[in-house]
Chain A
Amino acid sequence: MSNNEYVVQMKGITKVYPNGVAANQGVDFNVKKGEIHALMGENGAGKSTLMKMLFGLEQPTEGEIIINGEKVSLSSPMVAISKGIGMVHQHFMLVPSLTVAENMVLGMEPKKGMFIDYKKAVEITEEYAKKYNLHVDANAKIIDIPVGMKQKVEILKALVRGAKILILDEPTAVLTTQETAELFKELINLKEQGYTIIFISHKLKEIKQITDRLTIMRGGKSMGVYETADISEQGISRLMVGRDVILTVEKEKAQPTDVVLKVRDLEYTDSWNRKMLDKLSFSVRKGEILGIAGVEGNGQRELVEMLFNLNVPDAGTVTVNGQNILGVPQRKIREMGVSLIPEDRMVYGIASSGTIEENLMSDRFDKKKYNKGMLFDMNAMHEESDRLIDDYLVLCKSRKQEVGMLSGGNIQKVVVAREFSSDPILIIADQPTRGIDVGATEFIRKKLVELSREGAAVLLVSADLNEVMELSDSLVVFYNGKIAAYFEDTSMLNDEIMGEYMLGLKKQTEEEVRRVCHE
């Protein structure tokens, strides 16, 4: 073939799903051998679809895929793997109760007679780990290893199956700053050994740091290919969303007053006997945003579950304006003025087969305002729904549209519209902008600040370090179910300091941490 410089050529790719959604329209995507190539775009821009086709999970409606100069038909992941394509999925494809070595060889087990040669599996794992400088513990069970190592296992899995082209789907979404730095070193190492890497990410800084070239997608179309060095972060952002986005949030200094949420000595041990919350105490005051930073799995999820009665702690107290909320039905908690933006919006945030209106009304349909005698006052409901859709810029055909059909960002706007419009005195925002596009992110962050300045207490849990540092007035770092540090003022913080506390390298004294109780 004429163009040997490219290992991957996707030409005029169009993908139309059976429901008529055109996820890709005439996309060209070319990757050179030995480069790190970023694929960027907002949610719903079509980048996942494009990569699914490259990995054989979906078939293009039109267009052709050429790998190493050879036209291929990638009918399944197995075919893709045999062509040297490997994918590291955002949600790891690992079996938790199996060991690292067992996961490595699954589907290609070394055998000794009738039995698995487990020793050989460990050897293979260690050999590859050494060769590519990706250190893993071959005998550890997946369930026991940290996220960073799981990712290495995923990369090794692809390599051991002969992948020369690695697709990494938002690999840094779950990593700490330090782990990300480590990953980048490993990726550059792989690149030097001649591997080609396709890197999907939203994070502009990372893209600038590690990639050679980038392809930007918007609305199912390619917005062009650029040398990373030649394009600015603003430039990328403009191409992605079609306008300039201000990612820093303007906010006045907080004037916190009375304590609203008071958590004291909360303890919880999970079903695997891990202490997820260890005598946790803190307070959130009216008018402030308290951020919770930390590597995922250090008790943040459990805390939020306790606060909204989705789980029961072993000990401790939680009050809102002096009233207990532990074990109180969610409806009562809501009546007290507590709002929740749940981490898992599809499960706890919305009923995806319901309409936008039904979802918006789901916490207030029984209020007097929306009822006329025994029946609903549909006009009042329509009016309110339309108002919320307008106010919260939900992009949709009408209030009758099914929520599940919206994009991630718009689904989250529906959740936020409902949660923010109930005059909350306390807002628990758990990963409020995870996996949604820049436009929606900006909007939700602005609203959150606005509400706090109007006097709501906000507890913000986020794995996005920039987000917690940017939005929070003060901030705590979770480590092993405890507060490792409390920062009253977030303006002096940077990634380095945070990382040290998040990874447990540093810890504040009890007295310093105790300040967050405001007693």
Chain B
Amino acid sequence: MLEQISSLIFQTDFVFSIFRITAPILFAALAAVVAEKAGVTNIGLEGIMLISGLFGTLFSYWTQSWMIGVLGAIVVGTLLALMMGFFALKLNTDIILAGIAINTMSAGGTIFLLYLFTGERGNTASLTSSNILIPTVKLPIIDSIPIIGEIISGHAVLTYIAFILVFVIWVLLYKTAIGLKIRAVGENAHAAESVGVSVIKIQYIALAISGILCGMGGAFMSMYYSQSWNTGLIAGRGFIALAAQAMGRGEPVGAMFSSLLFGLAQALRTKVSGMQGVSSNLISAMPYLVTIIGLVLYAASTMKKVKRRKADEANEEKK
């Protein structure tokens, strides 16, 4: 059986699928990275992706343009993230609760909206046609290279964008003024405030960026990965992304590698579950198991750090 698995793994289409599967997790993981850097934990990734995924499909259906669909998803994602910001930053609710609210709302709310707008129940399979899905591109030159071409070329536009965004987000965080402010606000909000940086404004901006990334992730799922929207579309990817952010130490590149790890686990699941003599139930739990193991390892290594930060915060309050 191991032979069977290894022969599967060394196929180019398997490696190709890892990137495809990783992309949505990566979008969400980058969303988590940016928010967390600014000191706001965006636990609503899952819900934002589900809702923006729905609107991606709807917009593309209404306009018969995949591009407007993706843009619509991005706008909706941004608005939802800003709404979370409004609850947490303006009305002072706990950001975790605001995130949970978005997740819970998304589960029921999307079905309602779908029915309201289209009269469909549960999924959009009947609305989609191939012309409004996110197209794939064959990369010139690279496409003709054996093996590498098969792996790297022919992905959806957004898959490439996801990986390019790793670099973009890194540049944003480490080479621009807004990035410096985001990092400062997340690490010592008082310090940032004392030199006139508006903490709330920066956190809104970080959340908005987070929302944009979630919007892309949602669109990727509904307009490419599953080819249509349904309630189970995101299937925990938002939470896996939170784990990827944490395991990647909150850095864009780190988050990419941990997203790839989860992508690999999920790709394996897809492959192996088709094989005989393997419990498909056990295998389908694999990506989540990897998440848990990853989180435990991460938690063990950062426990001390957290404790120290808490003590520091307590000191701050005492002042």
Interface residues of A (CB under 8 A from B): 77-78, 81, 87, 89-98, 102-103, 106-109, 111, 114-116, 157, 161, 270-271, 344, 346-347
**Residue B20 lies at the interface, judged by CB distance under 8 Å to chain A:** no
Chain A interface secondary structure, helix, strand, loop or mixed? loop
B197–A91 CB distance below 8 A: no
Residues of B near A346 (CB, < 8 A) are 314, 317-318
Expressed in whole angstroms, the Cα–Cα distance for A94 and B195 within the complex equals 10
Contact with A along B147-189 (1 / 0, CB 8 A): 0000000000000000000000001000111011101100110
**Residue B92 lies at the interface, judged by CB distance under 8 Å to chain A:** no
A107–B314 CB distance below 8 A: no
Residues of B near A107 (CB, < 8 A) are 181, 192, 195-197
A161–B195 CB distance below 8 A: yes
Distance (Å) between the CB of B54 and the closest chain A CB?
34
- Closest B residue to A78 by beta carbon equals B196
A94-B188 contact, Cβ under 8 Å, with A102-B180, A271-B304, A344-B314 = yes
Expressed in whole angstroms, the Cα–Cα distance for A271 and B191 within the complex equals 24
Interface residues of B (CB under 8 A from A): 171, 175-177, 179-181, 183-184, 187-188, 190-197, 304-305, 308, 311, 314-319
- Closest A residue to B195 by beta carbon equals A107
Expressed in whole angstroms, the Cα–Cα distance for A10 and B33 within the complex equals 46
B315–A270 CB distance below 8 A: no
Expressed in whole angstroms, the Cα–Cα distance for A109 and B192 within the complex equals 13
B180–A98 CB distance below 8 A: yes
- Closest B residue to A347 by beta carbon equals B314
A95–B195 CB distance below 8 A: no
Q: What are 14 pairs between A and B in contact, CB < 8 Å? A: A81-B195, A89-B194, A93-B188, A93-B190, A93-B194, A93-B195, A95-B183, A95-B184, A98-B184, A107-B192, A107-B197, A111-B177, A115-B171, A116-B176
A270–B304 CB distance below 8 A: yes
Residues of A near B179 (CB, < 8 A) are 116
Residues of B near A96 (CB, < 8 A) are 187-188
Expressed in whole angstroms, the Cα–Cα distance for A98 and B308 within the complex equals 18
Residues of B near A81 (CB, < 8 A) are 195-196
- Closest B residue to A79 by beta carbon equals B196
Residues of A near B319 (CB, < 8 A) are 90-91
| Other-chain contact of B177, A78, A91, A97, A116 (Cβ < 8 Å) | A116
Distance (Å) between the CB of A94 and the closest chain B CB?
6
A95–B187 CB distance below 8 A: yes
Residues of B near A114 (CB, < 8 A) are 176
| Other-chain contact of A347, B176, B197, B311 (Cβ < 8 Å) | B311
Expressed in whole angstroms, the Cα–Cα distance for A107 and B184 within the complex equals 10
A106-B315 contact, Cβ under 8 Å, with A95-B183, A95-B184, A116-B177 = no
- Closest A residue to B313 by beta carbon equals A347
Expressed in whole angstroms, the Cα–Cα distance for A91 and B194 within the complex equals 12
Distance (Å) between the CB of A347 and the closest chain B CB?
5
